Chains A and B, each alone.
Chain A
């Protein structure tokens, strides 16, 4: 909320400054900028619509629901360890690996959930192995792996990997 306030404070001042410097009648370039701003908002809306259609098409084409599997990663509330990398193996084969930067880690630590992998597996019993590397709050390097069994039905499979500590991984079925 503090951030909202700061934005308002500064905006408040900038409007006052703008009124002082530009007066009430906006210049031609200002008018042009504002008119363009309206058009930019419209095209953003159009492109968002295209992106949504394209996502649906990609999902249907590349990850049909009867074989689709998605793995989501989150960090439990209050955990402040540094996650450096994660590797996901499905049925003994590398599915994906990810190296975390500051922004990604910060987003995870603030309630964000990362979709780390989307792929295809046939219906039936499977195994997922999750490996993590990083540093604890006390600057101690850690590396940890856990393997879980899961079953894939005909509907899309959503698996939630929650890191509840540097060396504790939980798998949730969604």
Chain B
């Protein structure tokens, strides 16, 4: 049981590690001040594994940045390289390999620093490798030249070796892996892969020696321990296959009893002893294995192997008892498998997969077992470890997530329609009255604004050519006009009285002129001050005017112009929802089909084991009976030894 969990742990590590790639994407974002809040927001979502939201925000931000005339003035400019890398990373984590490839290629082809370009080339190579496009992966790796970031130097070489291995260029892989043997970052993995590369290249003895070294790698975490176990298991099997079962034992013994390869090692260890006809020794690992969780294939085989060994040791009674126990166990397992197949056919597997607590748990295969009415997943662990099945399950979960989003947006449109309708019904009756009042106010305002402009022009004129009469008060202006009228009335009059009156008029006008001229500077200052006050008031008026115009526009914009985009989006959403539902059904069907295929294969194997156990049980009973009879006969014989 524990070994099985560890196995799942190693497999899940792959997914977990991938999901963490995104967190590395904000390379150095903690080391430098953040200039763009929206980039920070994308990192916030990515760090939590919400890559859809992260991508949505970063795509929008990058799109806006690229549309700018002067992008160097934009806050994202400071993080542009990080952002472009992050998009690729987020897409990779959201399993959008095509777009991730395009994003990283764009970085690669841009005018970027050598280290950045090499980093991008490595990421691109990794995407191709993941998609099993080995030639493309190699081409991307070959673009790496010059200065390479320290942290990925060994990773690049390790990837190169894996690509060579995949392409069958085993000697090239050997050369690269030999150089990597001292690298701490790929400890264990480089040693194991070198052993495999040597084997594939036909250097069997060297491969054995290398796998021996890989099987003794010291230190490291669980992945290194697991690869160490794997090295020992592979070496042991190779020795058995090459007719050296005795030599294999010590390698099987090196495999940890609680590691992911423990069951396979115990089984192989037993067969190694059996192939040397040492059944007493074979019974020991098989006995340990047979007592373990009976859903494992190795354990089931051990349940048959133990009585087989007892049979070979001629302990037929014990063999029969063990065959009977195996028969019971296989019967129980067959029921479990049948129930699992029925449960999957009922759609319970997919329903359980889509549950929130399952989606958030990387150990979903284990977690699924604890849920009521979900299928037995012990038999699906091997399947769950395969890359394609993991991608299929993740795609199913992603599609389910998209379906929920689209369904929720579909409902949102109705809310938008309601909101727009409410705004329209509120504003439309109000606006004609508001517009009428506004037009009235608008003409008055324009008059005042024109007056202000005229006065300002006059002030500028007075500064150039002083005109005291322009600054006369209303009384002064009236008095001047009366005096001019009186003077006009006296036109043509003669005599002393008329002259006296003219003199008085001139004197009075002189008084007014005296006041106008002596007070001119003071009046000009006052005029200037009042005009400044008026300009300030006009500014406030203008600001209010603009605010009103904006508010008036905003009122209309709050309900006008949405029909077309909402209708277009509604069509897109419903079209995409239909497509997602269709893909979801197909993806679910294929997952169910593959799971049922695996379970059916296991069922057939169990049925075969059951048949073997049944025949062997009968045979063991016969042999046990025969042996007992022969024993009794021998005891009754005159020459027999006394009891």
Q: Is A114 an interface residue (CB 8 A)?
A: yes
Cross-chain contact A1 with B152 (CB below 8 angstroms): yes
Taking a contact as CB atoms closer than 8 A, the residue among B99, B126, B166, B565 that contacts A8 in the complex is B126
Which chain B positions have C-beta within 8 A of A39?
Answer: 583
Within the assembled complex, what's the spacing in Å between the Cα atoms of A61 and B558? 6
Which chain A positions have C-beta within 8 A of B597?
Answer: 29
Q: A7-B14, A48-B52, A55-B60 are in contact. Are A66 and B550 (CB under 8 A)?
A: yes
User: Closest CB-CB distance, A118 to chain B, in whole Å?
Assistant: 11
Q: A15-B162, A37-B395 are in contact. Are A51 and B52 (CB under 8 A)?
A: yes
Cross-chain contact A113 with B43 (CB below 8 angstroms): yes
Cross-chain contact B419 with A61 (CB below 8 angstroms): yes
Q: Is the interface of B mostly helix, strand, loop or mixed?
A: helix
Cross-chain contact B47 with A110 (CB below 8 angstroms): yes
Q: Is the interface of A mostly helix, strand, loop or mixed?
A: helix
Within the assembled complex, what's the spacing in Å between the Cα atoms of A66 and B597? 60
Cross-chain contact A110 with B30 (CB below 8 angstroms): yes
Segment 76-121 of A: residues with Cβ below 8 Å from B: 77, 103-104, 106-108, 110-115
Taking a contact as CB atoms closer than 8 A, the residue among B47, B152, B158 that contacts A107 in the complex is B47
Q: A33-B590, A57-B565, A123-B547 are in contact. Are A112 and B158 (CB under 8 A)?
A: no
Cross-chain contact B13 with A113 (CB below 8 angstroms): no
Closest residue of A by beta carbon distance from B547: A123
Taking a contact as CB atoms closer than 8 A, the residue among A10, A114, A154 that contacts B223 in the complex is A10
Q: Is B96 an interface residue (CB 8 A)?
A: yes
Closest residue of A by beta carbon distance from B150: A1
Which chain A positions have C-beta within 8 A of B37?
Answer: 72, 113, 115, 158, 160, 174
Taking a contact as CB atoms closer than 8 A, the residue among A11, A108, A112 that contacts B130 in the complex is A11
Within the assembled complex, what's the spacing in Å between the Cα atoms of A54 and B158? 43
Within the assembled complex, what's the spacing in Å between the Cα atoms of A6 and B126? 12
Q: A9-B189, A13-B227 are in contact. Are A40 and B587 (CB under 8 A)?
A: yes
Closest residue of A by beta carbon distance from B43: A112
Taking a contact as CB atoms closer than 8 A, the residue among B189, B405, B562 that contacts A57 in the complex is B562
| Per-position 1/0 for B149-183, Cβ under 8 A of A | 00110110011001001100000000000000000
Q: Is A140 an interface residue (CB 8 A)?
A: no
Q: Is B391 an interface residue (CB 8 A)?
A: yes
Cross-chain contact A10 with B17 (CB below 8 angstroms): yes
Segment 108-157 of A: residues with Cβ below 8 Å from B: 108, 110-115, 123, 154
Closest residue of B by beta carbon distance from A49: B572
Cross-chain contact B129 with A64 (CB below 8 angstroms): no
User: Closest CB-CB distance, A122 to chain B, in whole Å?
Assistant: 10
Segment 1-29 of A: residues with Cβ below 8 Å from B: 1-16, 18-19, 21, 26, 29
Cross-chain contact A32 with B40 (CB below 8 angstroms): no
Cross-chain contact A107 with B18 (CB below 8 angstroms): no
Cross-chain contact B166 with A77 (CB below 8 angstroms): no
Closest residue of A by beta carbon distance from B193: A12
Cross-chain contact B583 with A111 (CB below 8 angstroms): no
Q: Is A168 an interface residue (CB 8 A)?
A: no
Cross-chain contact A41 with B95 (CB below 8 angstroms): yes
Which chain A positions have C-beta within 8 A of B547?
Answer: 123
Taking a contact as CB atoms closer than 8 A, the residue among B130, B155, B594 that contacts A5 in the complex is B155
Within the assembled complex, what's the spacing in Å between the Cα atoms of A55 and B14? 34
Cross-chain contact B30 with A9 (CB below 8 angstroms): no
| Per-position 1/0 for B567-578, Cβ under 8 A of A | 001001100100
Q: Is B392 an interface residue (CB 8 A)?
A: yes
Cross-chain contact B47 with A53 (CB below 8 angstroms): no
Q: A3-B20, A12-B159, A112-B40 are in contact. Are A103 and B402 (CB under 8 A)?
A: no
Q: Is B21 an interface residue (CB 8 A)?
A: yes
Cross-chain contact B43 with A111 (CB below 8 angstroms): yes
Cross-chain contact A74 with B186 (CB below 8 angstroms): no
Known: A4-B21, A15-B129, A77-B30. 20 other contacts (CB 8 A): A1-B155, A3-B23, A7-B14, A7-B17, A7-B18, A8-B126, A8-B162, A12-B129, A15-B162, A16-B193, A18-B386, A44-B95, A51-B52, A53-B572, A61-B420, A61-B558, A64-B558, A111-B43, A114-B41, A154-B550
Give 6 nearest A-B pairs by CB, closest first.
Answer: A113-B40, A112-B44, A107-B47, A1-B151, A7-B17, A3-B20
Q: Can you report 26 residue pairs joining A to B where beta carbons are below 8 Å apart?
A: A5-B152, A5-B158, A10-B13, A11-B129, A12-B162, A16-B196, A32-B590, A33-B594, A41-B96, A41-B98, A41-B99, A44-B94, A45-B96, A46-B579, A51-B52, A56-B60, A57-B416, A72-B37, A77-B30, A110-B26, A110-B47, A111-B40, A112-B41, A113-B41, A114-B41, A123-B547
